[in-house]
Amino acid sequence: MTLPRDEVVKGFNDEMAAFATLARSLDEAGWRAPTRCVGWSAGDLVGHVAATLTAVGSGEFDGLGTPEVTERHVAERRARSAGEVIAELTEASALAATLLDAFDEDAWSGPAPAGVATTVGAGVEALWYDAYLHGDDIRAAVGRPSVGGDGLRAALSHIADILTDQGWGPAVLDLDGQDRFRVGSGPGREVTGDPLTFVLAATGRADPAPLGLDETVNIYR
């Protein structure tokens, strides 16, 4: 279940501002640092987030989120300077913020374009999750600590929805310091432990075994 509209809009805007600040803080070595996203550097991740927002803002939804389109977006930006990619990110984030202000409650709960998500709200939450997770990928690549906060909550909400759609569960995510998120219907098993470890395990970035889970929890499997 997508988080409330006001929370998602504010959280998305705050996350994009933090992501841009992180991108600007990278020196050349950091920009080129390999990440746990195999074959992608930190700069590639910035390019991916920027390209996705640009596509959303211009209504280019065909194939958005597929491996082919995602790889093309990243490849197109490898020849650009860090400054150019960050400028695109900043411009696309500002446009996204303007578009979000135009959505009323009916539009927010309505279907997302081209089937990229169940609703507009779910689509925006997915963008928030993506920026949060790739921000953590970048921090890990350059030796900086992870951050929690609202982005982690958005990631748990989004992953719970994806796992529900995939038929995983039923389960309740009762992770340290977080609200409970239900996966599927019925009580199911309770998943406890560190919330970021769960997010990393559920996205194929960490071993799920310490949480008592197996590889089926990976939403990208």
Residue whose token pair is 């578009």: 99
CATH number at residue 217: 3.30.1050.20
Look at residue 206 in the predicted model and tell me its pLDDT: 97
What is the mean predicted confidence (pLDDT) over 186-205?
Answer: 95
Look at residue 79 in the predicted model and tell me its pLDDT: 92
Judged against a pLDDT cut of 90, whether residue 93 lies above it is answered with yes
- Span 45-88, pLDDT tens digits: 999 999 999 999 988 888 888 899 999 999 999 999 999 999 99
Q: Are residues 155 and 112 in the same domain?
A: no
Q: How far apart are CA 183 and CA 165, in angstroms?
A: 9
Contact predicate 106/121, CB 8 Å: no
Query: Of 85, 116, 146, which residue constitutes the final position of a domain?
Result: 146
Angle formed at CA 20 by CA 206 and CA 52, multiple of 5 degrees? 70
Q: How far apart are CA 134 and CA 170, in angstroms?
A: 28
Q: Are residues 193 and 122 in the same domain?
A: no
Residues 6+ apart with CB under 8 A from 215: 208, 221
Q: Are residues 38 and 105 in the same domain?
A: yes
Q: Are residues 114 and 51 in the same domain?
A: yes
Q: Are residues 115 and 21 in the same domain?
A: yes
Q: How far apart are CA 82 and CA 44, in angstroms?
A: 10
Helical residues (DSSP H) of the chain, grouped into ranges? 5-24, 28-31, 42-57, 67-77, 82-102, 105-109, 120-141, 149-165, 195-202
Nearest Cα to 8, choosing from 169, 95, 129, 112?
129
Query: Of 146, 172, 203, which residue constitutes the final position of a domain?
Result: 146
Query: pLDDT higher for 130 or 118?
Result: 130
The domain in which residue 168 lies consists of 148-221
Nearest Cα to 29, choosing from 160, 141, 165?
141
Look at residue 203 in the predicted model and tell me its pLDDT: 98
- pTM recorded for the entire structure: 0.95
Mean pLDDT of the chain: 94
Our count of domains for the chain comes to 2
Look at residue 59 in the predicted model and tell me its pLDDT: 86
Residue whose token pair is 């499997």: 221
Q: Are residues 142 and 152 in the same domain?
A: no
Look at residue 124 in the predicted model and tell me its pLDDT: 95
Q: Are residues 37 and 109 in the same domain?
A: yes
- Span 94-117, pLDDT tens digits: 999 998 988 888 888 898 876 667
- Span 121-162, pLDDT tens digits: 999 999 999 999 999 999 999 999 999 999 999 999 999 999
Q: Which of the 8 DSSP states describes residue 4?
A: P
Q: Are residues 136 and 175 in the same domain?
A: no
Judged against a pLDDT cut of 80, whether residue 24 lies above it is answered with yes
Look at residue 125 in the predicted model and tell me its pLDDT: 96
